[in-house]
Chains A and B, each alone.
Chain A
Amino acid sequence: MHLLQFAAGLLAATPAVAEVHKCGADGELAELQGRIGNVGSRLRSLISRQTYPVPPTVDLVVHVTAPTTRREDGYLSVSFHVRVTATTVS
């Protein structure tokens, strides 16, 4: 949390440096911008890695259903793995 707050503060400070640039402090500014840019980049990288671990694979089970074996009722003709779960009407 502290890291995030610090990072947010530092990143928020970057536009202020841009304001200084308008005043013509070019040499020092370039160096400062470079250093802050590197730190900012590093912090952004750290923040972006503050993610949850990759979740486990989800087992997917697909059920295809139909109210009857009539094509017009959405029955998909199959020749294998048919499991009738209740009385079939037609």
Chain B
Amino acid sequence: MAEQVSIIKELYKPTKLTFNYDESKLQYHVDPRWQGSKTNIKEFNPLLEELHVGNYRTLNLYFYNNTHQEYGGGCRNPWTEAQKGVDPQTRLKQDGCVISTYTINKSSHPFMNRGKTAVHEIGHWFGLLHPFEDGGIVPPGYRDPDTCMASNPDDYVDDTPKTYPGPPGHCDKTSNTCNKFKEGTSPVYDPIDNYMMYTSDDCQSRFTDGQM
């Protein structure tokens, strides 16, 4: 865990966000409800409500032994639960991120094996969306809006090019899933190096200025 926390601190340095971590307060919990087949943070709500520590300036990270290869974790962003009408006290207790231990540095996971899943999930905690997000403009009854549409605000960040997620764990530097071109000729490549994408850990290396 110390190594995982070091990775988080290091990769967040460019954002000027800092973390205060006291390893002596590391908490261990054994509970059958932490079984690894869960793939939605909502399923963890009763556990989070029991274990949450601190206030909204406290980031609670829950590492659990997930058995799903394509689910690295989940995290609450600053507004979703408020929009759903969850009462403030419960909302605070449910705050935090669950992260699969399968994604920590040097794990055997084929593409989430450098500890960057935690960096991605914490990005959501700070309010970042995926660059391939639909921008929340989906009208009722409508599904799958085209994230490539000019009118779609995708992640509301100007310097993360519009993109589709692509296959999990890919690192195709030439992918231009929205088929966009600058000045008519230069491809606008997908932001595969962005921590908020679903690309491989080896591929990811930054947040953009707009995200920071």
Contact = CB atoms under 8 A, between A and B. Distances in A.
Contact of B27 (A61, A66, A88): A61
Given A68-B30, A81-B27, A62 B36 contact: no
Most chain A beta-carbon neighbours within 10 Å: one of B8, B24, B28, B36: B28
Contacts of A85: 29-31, 47, 50-51
Interface in B100-155: 101
Interface residues on B, range: 35 or more
Interface stretch (A13-21, A27-35, A37-45, A49-57): A49-57
Given A67-B36, A74-B65, A86-B33, A58 B27 contact: no
Contacts, number: 123
Q: Report, nearest first, the 8 A-B pairs whose CB atoms are least far apart.
A: A74-B65, A86-B31, A65-B34, A60-B21, A60-B19, A59-B58, A67-B35, A85-B29
Interface of A: 54-69, 73-76, 78, 81-89
Given A64-B63, A64-B101, 7 more contacts: A58-B20, A59-B58, A61-B54, A65-B65, A67-B35, A76-B28, A86-B33
